[in-house]
A and B are shown apart, each in its own frame.
Chain A
């Protein structure tokens, strides 16, 4: 996990073509010391990274974002107001070894963050 103890995966289930991870957001994570002092707010990039890490579990390989078609942050998520959220990941492998990702963070029908991106294998980058 990139950001130490940012979240914990509580459980995982399959829901038609999506993998759904129920995660708890840890309000004591060090990132909240600076984002923001006395007012913990989830950094959008940390939630995006959480999606990438869940997607890596689905793919069974370390992945990184190659390109983002669109990422919408429609709700201000905080670990105090939203201690548990769901990360829905739909991952379609493309023939060139990359993955097409459509993912959301939310609860039931509410979507707080939506992400449409292409993910690449991480190790393929590290040694280039």
Chain B
């Protein structure tokens, strides 16, 4: 495991109450693996269920961490990753309190400063969300 809890603050500018990644399991220049455990204080929880906005933000922050990591690894400031587009997203189920979302993300392609990634999220081995995102970097 690479980063946990407040260590993740080095990788992205988001802070509570909207930090939706609590473990960065691995990061390479082609992929990222992260996790999030749904807690009662999660602002996207409603009636004991994590709403889709929280799931998408979790994947978006995974994508932003992935896109901004090279700059951090090379000793610079992590660059701010903005989500420009979501496509072919499917949300099959809403996780419940205490569930842990486990997300795997792969680089698909890059062009003209835009990074296209594909990610899927599972809870206890069942896929609950998957889709494509485009991230572009801005100096934070």
**Do A and B touch each other in the complex, judged by CB within 8 A?**
yes
A: residues with CB less than 8 A from B are 2-3, 30-31, 33-37, 43-46, 48-49, 52, 64-74, 76, 125-126, 128
Instruction: Report the nearest B residue to A36, measured CB to CB.
Output: B13
Q: Which chain A residues lie closer than 8 Å to B52 at the CB level? A: 52, 64-65
B51 in complex: contacting residue of A30, A34, A49, A67, CB < 8 Å = A49
Q: Which chain B residues lie closer than 8 Å to A48 at the CB level? A: 53, 56
Instruction: Report the nearest A residue to B87, measured CB to CB.
Output: A70
Whether B3 is near chain A, meaning CB under 8 Å from some CB there, is: no
B: residues with CB less than 8 A from A are 13-19, 43-44, 46-47, 49, 51-54, 56-57, 60, 82-91, 93-94, 131
Contact A73 B17 (CB under 8 A): no
Would you give the shortest CB distance from B5 to chain A, in whole angstroms? 14
Contact B19 A69 (CB under 8 A): no
Contact A68 B15 (CB under 8 A): no
**What are some 13 contacts across the A-B interface (CB < 8 A)?**
A2-B43, A35-B14, A36-B13, A37-B15, A45-B54, A45-B56, A48-B56, A68-B87, A68-B88, A69-B87, A69-B88, A70-B87, A73-B84
Q: How far is the CA of A45 from the CA of B90 in the complex (A)?
A: 15
Q: Which chain B residues lie closer than 8 Å to A46 at the CB level? A: 53
Q: Which chain A residues lie closer than 8 Å to B90 at the CB level? A: 66-67
Q: How far is the CA of A74 from the CA of B84 in the complex (A)?
A: 7
Q: Which chain B residues lie closer than 8 Å to A43 at the CB level? A: 18, 57
Q: Which chain B residues lie closer than 8 Å to A45 at the CB level? A: 44, 53-54, 56-57, 60
